[in-house]
Amino acid sequence: MNRDEFLTRVAQAARLGNAYRIHVPPRPENVSYVGVQGDLCDAMAREVNAVGGVAKIVSSHAEAREQIAALCKQYSVLSALCWQHPVLNRCELDDLLSRQGVAKHCYDSLVKHDWSQRLQIAREADIGISSVDFAIAETGTLIVCAQPGQERVTSLLPPVHIALVEESQLVPDLLDAIELLRRSDGSLPSNIALITGPSKTGDIELQLTTGVHGPGHWHVVIIRESG
C-alpha cells in the first residue's frame, strides 16, 4: 500500500466514524449540576476514607501540627519531601520537623544539588507533605498543579503522603474546581494532577494492590481554620 492509498483509507475511516459520534444537546439555562451540599469538610473526610485514605478534621493549625507529629512518629520518619506553601507555613512545619529530628527537603534546598543527588534524596524520603490547589469534596480528590516549590514528586514518590487542606481550599465538585483553575485567558495550567486515594493497581492477576506505583499510605488533614 502506498502513501496515497493509506491516507485515502484513513479519510474514509474518519468519515465513517463521524456517524457514531455522540451529540450532546445544549444544556438548558435553568439546569445545572449540583455537587456536594452542606458541610464540605465532613463530605471530604467521608470520601477520603471511602477511597482508602485516612482523613482527620481538625479545628486549627495547631491541631494539624499534632497530627503531623503523630504521623511522623507512627512511620518512624527520618526525612521528608515538602512543598513550599502558605498552608505549611501556617502549620509551622519547619519548626515541627526540626523538633521531630526529621530532615526537611524542599525546592530551595534541592536546587543546591545536582540532578542525581536530588533524585537520591527524593527516593530516600520517608514521607511527602504537601497542600493542594483545591480539593473536591464530592469525590475526596486533591487537585495539585505542579510548579517550582510544589513538585509532583512530593505526592508520588514517598511511601506516605500527607496533604494539609484548609476549608477555604475545598470545592463542592470538579466543575467548580475547573472554573477556579482557569486563568484570566480561559486556559488551564499545563500540569494538573487529580489524586483520589493511595496508589492502586489491578494489573497483577486482577488483584487490587496498594502502593505499587506511588504512596501506599495517604493521609488528608482537613483544617477548619483558614489563614
* Phi, psi dihedrals of residue 113, rounded to the nearest 5°: -105, 160
- The architecture CATH gives domain 33-223: 3-Layer(aba) Sandwich (3.40)
Q: Would the pTM of this model clear 0.75, i.e. be above it?
A: yes
pLDDT, tens only, 51-96: 999 999 999 999 999 999 999 999 999 999 999 999 999 999 999 9
pLDDT, tens only, 110-161: 999 999 999 999 999 999 999 999 999 999 999 999 999 999 999 999 999 9
Burial of 42 (C-beta count, 10 Å sphere; 0-12/13-18/19+): middle
Residue 9 CB contacts under 8 Å (≥ 6 apart), including other chains = 1
191 pLDDT tier (thresholds 50, 70, 90): confident
Beta strands per DSSP E along 54-204:
54-58, 79-82, 103-105, 127-130, 134-136, 141-145, 160-166, 170-171, 192-195, 200-201
Average pLDDT of every residue of the chain: 87
Distances (CA, A) of 225 to 62, 94, 221: 10, 20, 12
Sheet strand arrangement including 192-195? 170-171, 134-136, 141-145, 192-195
Q: Where are the domains of the chain?
A: 33-223
